[in-house]
């Protein structure tokens, strides 16, 4: 009996200690001026004028229905204040465009020079809209010409199958001269495995398949609004950060990852063949409108943190780079660019520990793309 009491006391003490740590972190963040509200509280404070960001990955297991029509949305609700995420102390909040992406709406009325395809990093997590890769690239390019427009087609949680779908549903209509396909080493290959299970997404391997989403935004808005209304708890994580030990779990995550990760040196041939097929399809599609496809390799913070060097997601880079080279897609390697910048790569991440990049990291990517485009344009002129 005493053993049970001692175990109960130990468990109670552990739980109490964890909540004391959580309280301490919350107090510190409040004093530092950080926004400690949950996403639910932020959306609620807008009194119906805002929606949470939703992603295609939420619907892969069960597509949404509009009457008898099955729909897989690839972006968010159109023309809405959209609450995204918070890693640096402030929430990333943006006004979505006519198709639910993170762009000023007028961009669709112009000739599109560049389109960016990718996951949350391209989407704009977790910075102000004007600090995203697309916004900063627009700003840089506008210094050279007033007729340069960058379209952001990034969507949180998107893997290679979803990115090909977005390319077909949206980029194809804009026909940009340059398309940059972003690959994040932290989870894109895992995303490929998950997305491959979606019969809906696999249809996009058929060159002729499309949902014609660009002409169905009214339907998309309705099904997404209904989904958010019916799934408020899971979409917004309504429970308080305190109850979920949000900050404590984030603090301890690297420790557990260090001891649970198994190092691997490469991806399977099956995974690589799947990615090769998707990239070949994307390349053919872009070249079909006389555009050019580029590949941007994004490093995970894990590769720069000593306690995470064995993390499975930070490896296999050579496999990916060699694959892309073999199918003749130009590569921008942001790991090399971060290293050669002269800065500690961790400085490109919020508080040197969050998953996504900060505004400096996104600026470095924008500058790298700008430099690459300048070199490419110079080479084209010399060829003439």
At 197, list the tokens. 């299970």
Per-residue confidence at 313, pLDDT binned at 50, 70, 90?
Answer: very low
pLDDT, position 100? 98
Q: Is a pLDDT exceeding 80 seen at residue 300?
A: yes
At 342, list the tokens. 């002269």
DSSP 380: H
Single out the residue of 178, 180, 204 nearest to residue 192, CA to CA: 204
pLDDT, position 25? 43
Average pLDDT over residues 211-235: 89
| C-alpha–C-alpha distance, residues 88 and 35, integer Å | 9
In a domain, 8, yes or no: no
Q: What is the SS3 string spanning 316-368?
A: CHHHHHHHHHHCCCCEEEHHHHHHHCCCCHHHHCHHHCCCCCCHHHHHHHHHH
- Report how far Cα 182 is from the mean position of its chain's Cα atoms: 9
Residue 74 · residue 166 · CB < 8 Å:
yes
pLDDT, position 263? 45
Per-residue confidence at 65, pLDDT binned at 50, 70, 90?
Answer: confident
Residue 89: give its domain's CATH number: 3.40.50.1110
- Percent of the chain whose pLDDT exceeds 90: 60
| C-alpha–C-alpha distance, residues 30 and 25, integer Å | 9
Per-residue confidence at 121, pLDDT binned at 50, 70, 90?
Answer: very high
Q: Is a pLDDT exceeding 80 seen at residue 246?
A: no
In a domain, 349, yes or no: yes
Residue 162 · residue 201 · CB < 8 Å:
yes
Average pLDDT over residues 167-179: 97
Residue 167 · residue 287 · CB < 8 Å:
no
Residue 329 · residue 59 · CB < 8 Å:
no
A 10 A CB-CB count for 5 gives 9
In a domain, 199, yes or no: yes
Residue 149 buriedness (CB in 10 A; 0-12 / 13-18 / 19+): buried
Q: Could you tell me the pTM of the whole model?
A: 0.85
Q: Is a pLDDT exceeding 60 seen at residue 220?
A: yes
pLDDT, position 64? 84
In a domain, 21, yes or no: no
Single out the residue of 202, 181, 221 nearest to residue 329, CA to CA: 181
CA angle 250, 231, 63 (to 5 degrees): 105
In a domain, 362, yes or no: yes
Single out the residue of 191, 124, 183 nearest to residue 162, CA to CA: 191
Structural domains of the chain, count:
1
Average pLDDT over residues 134-157: 88
- Taking phi over 0 as left and psi of -120 to 50 as alpha, with beta for the rest, 157 belongs to left
In a domain, 27, yes or no: no
The residue segments making up the domain with residue 337 are: 34-383
In a domain, 18, yes or no: no
Residue 51 · residue 81 · CB < 8 Å:
yes
**pLDDT single digits (tens) 6-57:** 566 666 566 555 445 545 544 444 444 456 788 888 888 998 899 999 999 9
Residue 117 · residue 135 · CB < 8 Å:
no
In a domain, 73, yes or no: yes
pLDDT, position 128? 95
pLDDT, position 374? 84
pLDDT, position 315? 60
Single out the residue of 128, 130, 174, 120 nearest to residue 151, CA to CA: 174
Helix (H, G, I), strand (E, B) or coil at 81: strand
β-strand 292-298 against 178-184: which pairing, if any? parallel
């Amino acid at each position: 009996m005493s053993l049970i009491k001692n175990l109960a006391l130990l468990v109670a003490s552990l739980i109490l200690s964890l909540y004391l740590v959580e309280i301490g972190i919350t107090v510190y963040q409040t004093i530092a001026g950080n926004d400690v509200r949950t996403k639910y509280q932020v959306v609620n404070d807008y009194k119906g004028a805002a929606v949470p960001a939703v992603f295609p990955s939420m619907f892969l297991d069960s597509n949404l229905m509009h009457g008898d029509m099955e729909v897989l949305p690839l972006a968010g609700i159109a023309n809405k204040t959209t609450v995204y995420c918070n890693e640096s102390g402030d929430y990333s909040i943006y006004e979505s465009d006519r198709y639910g992406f993170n762009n000023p709406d007028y961009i669709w009325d112009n000739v599109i020079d560049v389109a960016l395809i990718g996951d949350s990093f391209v989407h704009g997590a977790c910075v102000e809209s004007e600090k995203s890769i697309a916004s900063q690239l627009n700003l840089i390019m506008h210094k050279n010409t007033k007729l340069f427009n960058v379209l952001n087609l990034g969507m949180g949680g998107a893997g290679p199958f979803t990115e090909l779908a977005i390319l077909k549903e949206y980029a194809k209509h804009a026909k940009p001269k340059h398309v940059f396909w972003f690959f994040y080493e932290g989870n894109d290959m895992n995303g490929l495995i998950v997305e491959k299970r979606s019969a809906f997404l696999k249809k996009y391997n058929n060159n002729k398949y499309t949902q014609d989403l660009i002409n169905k935004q009214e339907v998309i808005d309705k099904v997404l609004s209904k989904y958010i209304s019916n799934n408020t708890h899971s979409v917004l994580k309504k429970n308080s950060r305190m109850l979920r030990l949000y900050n404590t779990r984030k603090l301890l995550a690297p420790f557990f990852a260090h001891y649970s990760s198994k190092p691997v040196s490469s991806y399977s041939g099956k995974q690589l063949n799947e990615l090769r097929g998707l990239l070949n399809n994307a390349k053919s599609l872009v070249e079909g409108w006389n555009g050019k496809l580029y590949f941007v390799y994004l490093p995970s913070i894990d590769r720069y943190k000593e306690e995470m060097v064995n993390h499975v997601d930070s490896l296999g880079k050579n496999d990916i780079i060699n694959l892309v080279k073999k199918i003749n897609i130009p590569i921008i390697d942001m790991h090399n660019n971060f290293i050669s910048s002269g800065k500690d790569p961790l400085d490109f991440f919020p508080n040197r520990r969050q998953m996504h990049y900060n505004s400096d990291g996104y600026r470095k990517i924008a500058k790298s793309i700008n430099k690459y485009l300048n070199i490419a344009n110079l080479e084209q002129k010399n060829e003439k």
